[in-house]
Structure 1
Amino acid sequence: MTGMFDLSGKTALVTGSTMGIGKGLARGLAEAGAEIILNGRDRDRLVQVAEEFRADGFRVHTLPFDATDAEAAAAAIDRFESETGPIEIVVNNAGMQHRGPLESFAPADFDQLMKTNVNSVFYVAQAAARHMIDRGHGKIVNIASVQTALARPGIAPYTASKGAVANLTKGMATDWAKYGLQINAIAPGYFDTPLNKALVEDPEFCVWLEKRTPAGRWGQIKELVGACVFLCSEASSFVNGHTLFVDGGITASL
């Protein structure tokens, strides 16, 4: 049974994988046997993380490109496919948060947030899917959020972006499942990550979160790994267009 979750021989690209959830998922996929392609815009940081992974015995590549740049993403993926080998798994993790009152939220900030959280998912998935379609198989996992289903004050644009990720995931599955691809999403709840640093350090918010979440605590990044390995493995061969919430029960309870 464990063989269904074995990723040996597979190569996985994880966008935004130099820190936080992306780095944690990349490590988890490596532990499941995958060869990892680390991605980010900071070349020095990519080299540093790659050295960490290699020191632990993992096979790692670095692929620096801006996921919000369609041409750069396609060029990098095409080059890797041509020069190194197939990318069988893509985890679209690159994302950002920007908080502020909706009535004064700057249009430029809204555009940047949507480009980072939604456009990048489309650009990277499309570039990789073109190769996957030719091969007749591939796995794409998009990182959504608990805000895919819920809203909180001050993050309406982020909520809109993550709702779009879930529906884009459905659309990708609808268009590409016939070619042998599985496209799904993971929706993390509140996790202790650099993106949530301001909230983690806010005692009032932490008290609210612990009361609001049935599990009574923040999630830890390692608790997302199992869901990701499942969606990237043969164990999920008939799962398509699904958003898997990993949220300690917060979306299940009022």
Structure 2
Amino acid sequence: MLDALWKELATPQAPPPDLVIVACGLGVLAVVLHPTSWQITRGLITIAHEGGHALAALLSRRKLAGIRLHSDTSGVTLTKGKPTGLGMIATAAAGYVAPSLLGLGGAVLASAGYVRVLLWGALVLLAGMLLLIRNVFGAVSLLVVGGALFALSWFTPDEVQGVVAYLGVWFLLVGGVRPIFELQGKRRRGTAGNSDADQLARLTRIPGTVWVGFFFVVAAASLVYGGYLLLPADLLPRGLVSALVP
């Protein structure tokens, strides 16, 4: 049984038709730009954001006290350990770049045809987060998202899995950019004094605006390269293809 499962995971799937890939990207862009649809779906970006904090904390050997996801699409990851140093800096810096980097990793897998690996990898990450959730809304959110992913990966044909995978990757890539603009807007209005960027400014003495710029560069670069991987080559500008292809 394990051999059959591994064979299924390791077998590349054909990508969706070019028109479907483009439609997925444009549809996600419309969702992210529209205020109502963004407010409904933004919680998915929050899950990736808080997961980034948690993963960075684990890698830097900080102790995780728990994760909370809230109905207003905000979240918090609580850690224990030294309040300064590289571990704390890495943990604070990981949140805003996590959705985009996850999207880029997903683009690599999806463009290579490893859609099942992408879906099951997402399930493993969600299961890991579920063990760290410390509130009911957060647990329900992860169970709903994880349950939907499991049903899609187990009960739907390859064509449906491919479309869902491309939609998810596009959403992480495009949706990873908007919160950075929202963050800077809140900072200009003076309503984000304890944001990740401001925490990093206190930890490193590097201005918070510079950290926001860093978040944006990572997100924009991930979107550009991820889009290059996902989009059909004949739709890309020749100069971009020449610059990105070795």
TM-score by length of 2: 0.30
Q: Which protein, 1 or 2, shows the higher relative CO under an 8 Å CA cutoff with sep ≥ 6? A: 2
Whichever structure has more strand as a proportion of its residues is 1
Which structure shows the higher helix fraction? 2
